[in-house]
Structure 1
């Protein structure tokens, strides 16, 4: 007989008792190792309550940090020429209001809060990341589209938070280890982090409230998510969860106490052990902190020697003035601090020099027919040839403030080279980097 008439042979392989093919064995899941193995996480401290408490602390803290960060951005007058060169910022380049000159200590306060709070929240942030670490290593990476989106949002949340805090702390310590501009990196990093944080807070806040109130989970999925925070096989406890919170809180208070003095000043300055050190040039009127020396800025003796001149432009005539001619003009005084983005500030120092509004009037740079009271904004240029903030724009409101000076002296003494000799800008509530040093040119009408 031919092949078509032969009985079919049973397929090779295991058979059931009745002779039928046995079902294929179920594939064994891959062996999970390291942090992907559930038994890897054994701390008895992890759990929904600890994670919820840490989240409840971070929520208002991050909101205050973001708002003070927006205030810091506004203080740079980003709408004026040259003050903000962040590419493609679009709608992200929003500022809250035109930056005022009253109260004169405004930037010292807002940036001091921003930096001190940011440093104090580091232990809380690290503890929160530690408390949810098991969820970052769950396997499989995505069980559904919703689960995949949740994992991606956690990546942006944790990664963005660590990036923003790390760049901020490095900047506070004047350690510019990151590639590119801190200003741009921190700007974009903050927006990415806040977008992820806003979504995360909106989704998780009801759950946090239920946990802190001792109420049960609403769904089986939520219950499974909360259960996953706790170790399935915990080690014996050596510290209670409240004890862990006390350790974290104590670390935050210690960091705040050793940071706040750099902006509060006075006797508390000595307690600011985390403030950048070694930048005070000495005692006397010029013995206050600086970020950049004249040598570091590339300022030579020829730049500030007897041939130095100030050019004033933008009105009906151009002026070229020597330092002696500036000293011969009416001298005004103002007691103002210098406050920098790193969170440090000086005490109120006694500055003397020529009012910016008076220089505008001398050059005929007035609007509204109002003399100095109608002075426009100004674009300030420095002898510094390169680097960030070698120039800055000041608003008309800043120029018109009677305490806004082209300063020639501080504390009754001439400016030192490191503090901007022959002349520098000093304006109430102005970020330190916009109090330009080694000024060579003022162009009125260059700032709106």
Structure 2
């Protein structure tokens, strides 16, 4: 008789069973929860409720219930949360694939629903498999800086995350008691040779009553999965660790502009942004600053005559890469606010760039970000004038903010009037 995926004899691997599925499920329970939380934090860091230009997922409705004003302390906060999000996501890929492999026979069981609880389990499983693959695929494509998936990454990944995690939470609520019981049974059997009466009879070990001979043990399979995760971790984590960037072969850690004071990662070049030599000429460039008392226009030389301050801050990008602290020097944003009548607590800030191509040509910053004494309109980095690719003649640098909000090639600052 011809075997089909709907017959138990189609799935003949002896490794499939409650033990392997339970172990992988427990790992994913912790890992995916961390992924979801750090992903939500990444979205909050963009301050989407502040201005439409910051919000890449309009129409989120109740899904934005948790949003809060993103802090500036500690200054490495976004570097940590987004680094964990991307590195952990890549590291969990072998675990996710192994988990899907272990449960794939359940997708083909007949009848489709034996009870309401079984129907809910099947639905959560379908959403879990589809949502998991969708989230990991779109995330990896975005990390590779060559996003090819149709549609914008931000809304697809955000809405997909809620669908996936909702299915994940429902599935975990239904299955985690069974998983913990299976793990306790296995530990008890290893210790005493019997699971004990309190744990009941062991579940069927495999969907096929006559599986193929084993080619590797269950522990060997876990070592294989763990080794794959460790390999991905080792070839990804270097994007955030000084001295190990050479090892991040699976995580492009920003374009490398070379050596020297400006020799640290960037996500877009001046050429890509359409910034020519004439645009960034210090003789021709002017900064327009608007606020309560009107508008002032400042040349590069004018800015150099204002009090200059220094800050040691990293650049951290949504793709997961980040730099170490770089020494920036320039005019405090709150001092520029004072020039146009905001002498006390400065208001929110709308920043516009000379950039002609690509996203985030405009960005909004919260008042707490403007007020932080480390927030600068930077003119120098590491003791030298900004390079063209790092935003010459002037760029914003703010502690703990995503890299795209640290606008380069700044042309206009508007205090207190957000679109």
User: Normalising by the residue count of structure 2, what TM-score does the alignment of the two structures yield?
Assistant: 0.92
* Contact in 2 for aligned 1:378/1:445 (Cα 8 Å): yes
Match of 1:235 among 187, 198, 212: 212
**Equivalent pair of 1:285/1:410 in contact (CA under 8 Å):** yes
- The 5 A counterparts of 1:97-116 are 97-116=68-87
Shift in Å, 1:249: 1.1
How many Å apart are 1:387 and its aligned residue?
3.3
Q: 3-state SS of the aligned residue for 1:318? A: strand
What residue is the counterpart of 1:298 in the other structure? 274
Work out whether residues 315 and 363 of structure 1, in 8 Å CA contact, stay in contact via their aligned partners in 2: yes
> How big is the shift at 1:174?
0.7
Residues 1:64 and 1:217: Cα distance change in structure 2 (over 3 Å): farther
Q: CA deviation at 1:401?
A: 0.8
In 2: Cα distance, 1:383 partner to 1:198 partner: 45
> 2:316: which partner in 1?
339
Local SS of the residue matching 1:132: helix
- Residue 3 of structure 1: aligned partner: none
Q: Does 1:59 align with 2:29?
A: yes
Question: Separation in 2 of the partners of 1:137 and 1:303?
Answer: 61
Mind listing any 5+ residue stretches in structure 2 that lack a counterpart? Answer: 186-194
Tell which deviates more after alignment, 100-109 or 135-144: 135-144
C-alpha spacing 1:155/1:216, structure 2 compared with 1 (3 Å): farther
Query: Counterparts in 2 of 1:409-428, with a 5 A limit?
Result: 409-428=380-399
Contact 2:253 2:322 in 1 (8 A): no
1:396–1:447 contact (8 Å) kept in structure 2: no
- 2:362 pairs with 1:391: yes
Q: In the alignment, what sits opposite 1:77?
A: 47
Number of aligned residue pairs = 408
Aligned counterpart in structure 1 of residue 247 of structure 2, from 271, 288, 291: 271
Distance 1:420 1:217, change over 3 A: farther
Q: Cα deviation per residue 1:301-333 (whole Å; 9 max; x = unaligned)?
A: 343234221111122120111112112211111
Cα displacement (A) at 1:447: 5.7
Q: Per-residue deviation at 1:219? A: 12
Deviation at 1:46, TM superposition (A): 0.6
TM-score by length of 1: 0.86
1:218 to 1:173, Cα distance in 2 relative to 1, 3 A? farther
Query: Which among 283, 289, 297 is matched to residue 312 of structure 1?
Result: 289
Q: In structure 1, what is the Cα distance between the partners aligned to 2:115 and 2:78?
A: 47
Query: Does the CA contact (< 8 Å) of 1:334 and 1:352 recur in 2?
Result: yes
Q: What stretches of structure 1 of length at least 5 have no aligned partner?
A: 1-30
CA RMSD of aligned residues (A): 2.3
- Residue 287 to residue 316, structure 1, CA distance change in 2 (3 Å): same
Deviates more, 1:154-163 or 1:387-396: 387-396
Alignment of 1:158-197 (within 5 A): 158-197=129-168
The offset of 1:218, in angstroms, is: 10
Checking the alignment, whether the CA contact within 8 Å between 2:3 and 2:9 is kept in structure 1 is no
Deviation at 1:35, TM superposition (A): 2.2
Task: Look up the match of 1:123.
Answer: 94
* Greater mean deviation of Cα atoms: 384-393 or 319-328: 384-393
Q: What secondary structure, in the 3-state scheme, does the structure 1 residue paired with 2:351 have? A: strand
Q: How does 1:14-53 map to 2 (within 5 A)?
A: 33-53=3-23
In structure 2, the CA distance between the partners of 1:216 and 1:141, relative to structure 1 (3 Å rule), is farther
